[in-house]
Amino acid sequence: MKEDNFKLPKEIRLAKFAGFCYGVKRAVETVKKLKSENPERNICVLGELIHNAQVIEELDALGIESVSVLPDKGEGICVVRSHGESPEVFEQIKNAGFEVYDLTCPDVKKVQQKAVELATAGYYVVIVGKAEHPEVVAIKANALQYSENVIVAATVDELEPYFNDLKSHKNIGVVVQTTQMISTLNEIVQYLTPIAKELRVVNTICQSTAMRQAEAKELAKDSDLMIVVGSKKSANTTHLAEILKEITQTIHIETDVELVEYKDLIEKANKISVTAGASTPQNVIDKVIEKLK
């Protein structure tokens, strides 16, 4: 048989650290329990509980509404999602007449607390992350209660306009969005080191994110194709895909339906590894594996 006509059997591997992290699992299970224990009460979530369309649809079917704008007057329970909110928003929820149920992820709470500590101690606070991400918006809002010297940057270019302020302030403190890449933190720390007289860096990337990224990188080194499953709106999922694209051929899909778009790539690959973001449900991952097989 000619070598060209011989096709090796597909090897399909699923990452151990794929799918719901502790914070997301806790949020989804708690909200469902809240509704089952309070079937007659109005239960809403301010924003999408997690970045996953399938989960949001499931919660909606249970009568748990996602609201993008807080009403002036309301009743029942309003859930603060795992990304957290500013102290001002917590007050707005109470003033509107809702009972607040805080589901801010413990890892996110830790970043908020560290940012507040740095601001209180007189450091110029740099939050490494995407300025528009709800987690980062909440971290910044908490720190701004104690200092006006709080900025957000996801790249060195975004820090450039603050060069003179940072240099004159001398003491700089850094915290990180929980789902950021370690390489992004390293680049910003490298930029700040010669500027600061004192630089205090608190690596607040959550352990789940770090382990997920490290495992996926090892799988990518020995794979012809990496498949990342999860929402395109999810920060940790898009970061995961960005990291892996630098190592091997990588595709980012939300569900198994999209696999048909990459039929040629899949057919050519002998070793395929699958990983998923922290807000991707297990049943979505299972469907991808089933379709690949």
Which amino acids are annotated catalytic? 135
C-beta atoms surrounding 150 within 10 Å: 22
Q: Are 237 and 20 in contact (CB under 8 A)?
A: no
Contacts 24+ apart (CB under 8 A), 29-35: 30/101, 30/103, 31/59, 31/64, 31/79, 31/103, 32/59, 32/62, 32/64, 34/77, 34/79, 34/101, 35/62, 35/63, 35/64
**Beta strand pairing call for 150-153 and 43-46:** unpaired
Q: Which residue has the tokens 């914070």?
A: 23
> Rounded distance, CA 49 to CA 82, Å?
7
Q: Are 23 and 106 in contact (CB under 8 A)?
A: yes
Read off the amino acid at residue 246.
E
- Is residue 1 within a helix (H) or strand (E), and if so which, with residue range? none
Q: Are 176 and 189 in contact (CB under 8 A)?
A: no
> Rounded distance, CA 152 to CA 271, Å?
39
Distances in Å between the Cα of 121 and the Cα atoms of 13, 150, 175, 196 are 48, 13, 14, 15
Torsional sign, CA 213, 219, 225, 230: negative
Structure-token pair, residue 182: 């370690």
